Every structure is written in structure tokens, then in C-alpha cells.
Amino acid sequence: MAVDYPDLVVVGAGLFGLTVAQQAAELADARVEVIDIRDHIGGNAYSYMDEETGAEIHKYGAHLFHTSSRRVWEYVNRFTEFTDYVHRVWATHDGEVYPLPTNLGTINQFFRAHMTPAEAKALIAEQAGELAGQDPQNLNDKGISLIGRPLYEAFIKNYTAKQWQTDPAELPASIINRLPVRFNYDNRYFQDTWEGLPKDGYTKWMERMAADERIHVSLGVDFFDASQPYSKDALKAAGVPVVYTGPVDRYFDYALGDLKWRTVDFKEVRYDEGDHFGCPVMNFSDADVPYTRAIEFKNFNPERRDAQNPDKTVVWEEYSRFAERGDEPYYPVNTEADKALYARYEELAAGEDKVVFGGRLGTYKYYDMHQVIATALDAYEKRIAPMLAK
């Protein structure tokens, strides 16, 4: 029986795929089929409610929306309202809790001082030593140049070594090129114009993006399963335009080799208390704690306190490691060898005239949520809309 193919097939129901699908339906009156191998929409932004505690669990780790792009902010507000949540992070070092990113409060607490901004700047420059004002190429020396050796070794060195399972002296400086240090008491993690969390959760937001009757979502569907109608081979044979948001090396059956990623494992811990850490995210900067940070989900949504269990809380401890095939890829490793390999895959991708590669996995880049949406809006306008107009 012949398949009645839609105007566009989107592989992956994450933010990139859903943004493209929504735009295609609305602006081009296109029929769109969105497929995903997972059993839920939303990609890594998917969340669900924990019945025991009343907390909204971010299944793939903490997701925090922030942007300075008016275009992106106005777009996402079409589908959800946002809370007034402002992200702040704390770090445990040597049995004491400090505010992050490094700011005047961190500096004065660490050195048991009451320095002015000018005095703190002078101290940091002195502690950076011969690296002050330089542009080192490895992470270790870059960190020292930015915040001085004592603060770097206390809050960055061991945390980063755990996160990457690599000596920071062997990591590229680009990982922390924008390591913030503030010579005031501002401990907001992000400095964007707009920030918040979706009032009724991430999944509701994503469901509204896909609510157009011209969009159909099929879950549990493998793009590489030749027995199903929306497979790679079937769509290519039918000439259907495809937006692909899966791993770019997987698309080409790893013909040139595997791109390397970091992944994250979570260990869930439940406590018989209403609040364990007193904050949503606690970093653990010391080498003797095996995980990098702990996430206490209830504390992302204090406005829901009345609906949460006052006697129970849930915490996820986060462990980082190199990804293998079958793991969830989170962070591209991006060594020079990986960049060179991706460039070769990018050449192959350019030869797929009816396929647009997007999102983190499809472009081997780490994006925050607002960046994914921005790139999806641009991709629709510049590449997908012209394909649908043919």
C-alpha cells in the first residue's frame, strides 16, 4: 500500500525539531510528521512530576531557560508563561559553602577578608602571576589567568577534572573561555535579559508547540529501521524533505568514525525532609566527592510549595563520563581531532540536498535551549521554507 507522505518529516521531537515543525505548519501550511525513538516529546528538555514529592523532575538534568534574544523570548512566550526564577549556584569546598560564579562574596569569604572591588582585582592579578593578561591554550593555565591560582584550584580544577575525566592541563582553554569573575556581590548565574522556568512544566510547553492539527507526532519510531515508512531509506526514495536532529555520525552509519561525547549518569537519593540543600543546585568542588553536583528539583519551583510534600525531597547526584554508543550524548568533547572529523561529516551532510541537520547532535555543538530555538528559526527561514516552496 502506498504511503501518503507528509510535506516534511522531522527526526527528533526536541526543541529544534518542534520549532521547525511548528514554523512549517504555521507559515507554509505544511503537513509535518515528527518521529522520535524515545517514548516522549521534548528531547532532553522533557520533564515529569514526581508523585511522592510533588517535584518536577528534569529527566536529562537541570534545564534553565534564559535568553537575551527578543525574537526567541517572544517566540517561546507563545507557548508558555515563565516564572520569575533566577538561577543561583552554590559550591561546597573543604566543608564550607560558597556562592558561584566567583564574585566579591566568594572572594571575601574564601580569603576571610573585606576587600573592595579594586583590592580584589589587584589580588586576583597578583595570584595569576606570570599568567595574568596572557592567553593560555590549556584549561588549567587559562583558569589561573582568569581567577588566580587559589580560587581556581578550590572551585574549578577538581570539578573540571571530574567533569571531563581528564587533567585540566590537557584540556583546551576554550572550555572556560568565559569563566565569569565578578567584582561585586552579584551571584546570578546568568546575565541574560530574560530568565525563568515554564510555569506548568517543560512537557506542557512542548506539547503546545506540537498542538497544531497539521503536525503529527509518532513516538518509539526508529529512523534507521527500514521496516517502517518514515525510515531514512524510504524517505530518500520518496524525495521527502527531512530535518534530522540525531547524531550526525549515526546518520552516515559512522562511516568516518565516532564523534566523541561526554554523558551524565544520575543517582537518585530521597530524603525524609522537606529541603535537603536549601538550593536547586549544589556543586561539589573537591576531588574526594565522586559526583560533580547535586540537583534538588523542588527548589526550582518555590511557587509550587503548597502542592509539594513538606516531608519528602528528591535529589539527583550527577556523575560525568565518556559516552559510548547507546548512551545519551550531552557534551561534545571537541578535541582538534573531533573537530576535524566533524568537518568531514559536515562535507557529507552538505551532499544531502533534501536533509537539514540541526540541534546539538546534528551539528556536534553544545547549545543552550535559547540557542537551539534561535538556530531552528534561522534554519527554517533560510533552508526549510525554500524547500517547502518548491
Q: What is the pLDDT of residues 247-290, one digit of tens each?
A: 999 999 999 999 999 999 999 999 999 999 999 999 999 999 99
Asked if residues 52 and 235 have their Cβ atoms less than 8 Å apart, the reply is: no
Residue 360 a catalytic site member: no
CA nearest neighbour of 259 among 204, 175, 329:
329
Q: Which CATH number fits domain 8-82+195-257+332-388: 2.40.30.10, 3.30.70.100, 3.40.1350.10, 3.40.50.720?
A: 3.40.50.720
In this prediction, residue 1 carries a pLDDT of: 53
In this prediction, residue 231 carries a pLDDT of: 96
Please state the rounded mean pLDDT for residues 39-47.
97
pTM of the model: 0.94
In this prediction, residue 3 carries a pLDDT of: 76
In this prediction, residue 178 carries a pLDDT of: 60
User: What angle, 0 to 180 degrees and rounded to 10, lies between the N-to-C axes of helices 117-128 and 139-147?
Assistant: 150
Residue 29 a catalytic site member: no
In this prediction, residue 177 carries a pLDDT of: 64
Please state the rounded mean pLDDT for residues 355-379.
96
- Mind listing the pLDDT tens digit for each residue in 106-117? 999 999 999 999
- Mind listing the pLDDT tens digit for each residue in 227-246? 999 999 999 999 999 999 99
The mean predicted confidence, pLDDT, of the chain is 94
Domain layout of the chain by residue ranges? 8-82+195-257+332-388, 102-175
Residue 318 a catalytic site member: yes
141, 195, 262, 296: which is the annotated catalytic residue? 262
- Mind listing the pLDDT tens digit for each residue in 10-22? 999 999 999 999 9
What percent of the chain stands above pLDDT 70? 98
- Mind listing the pLDDT tens digit for each residue in 129-146? 877 777 778 888 888 888
Asked if residues 30 and 288 have their Cβ atoms less than 8 Å apart, the reply is: no
- Give DSSP secondary structure letters for 168-214: GGGSBGGGGTT--B-SSS---S---SEEE-BTT-HHHHHHHHT-STT
Residue 366 a catalytic site member: yes
| Strand order across the beta sheet in which 96-100 lies | 96-100, 89-93, 281-284, 293-296, 313-322, 261-271, 331-332
Banded model confidence at residue 336, pLDDT cuts 50, 70, 90: confident
159, 202, 249, 293: which is the annotated catalytic residue? 293
Q: What is the dihedral of CA 114, 118, 120, 123, to 10 degrees?
A: -130
The backbone torsions φ and ψ at residue 54, rounded to the nearest 5 degrees and listed phi first, read: 80, 10
Residue 178 a catalytic site member: yes
What percent of the chain stands above pLDDT 90? 85
In this prediction, residue 250 carries a pLDDT of: 96
Residue 51 a catalytic site member: no
Cα–Cα distance for residue pair 253/238, rounded to 1 Å: 20
Domain 102-175 sits in CATH at: 1.10.3110
In this prediction, residue 179 carries a pLDDT of: 66
Cα–Cα distance for residue pair 346/336, rounded to 1 Å: 15
46, 182, 360, 364: which is the annotated catalytic residue? 182
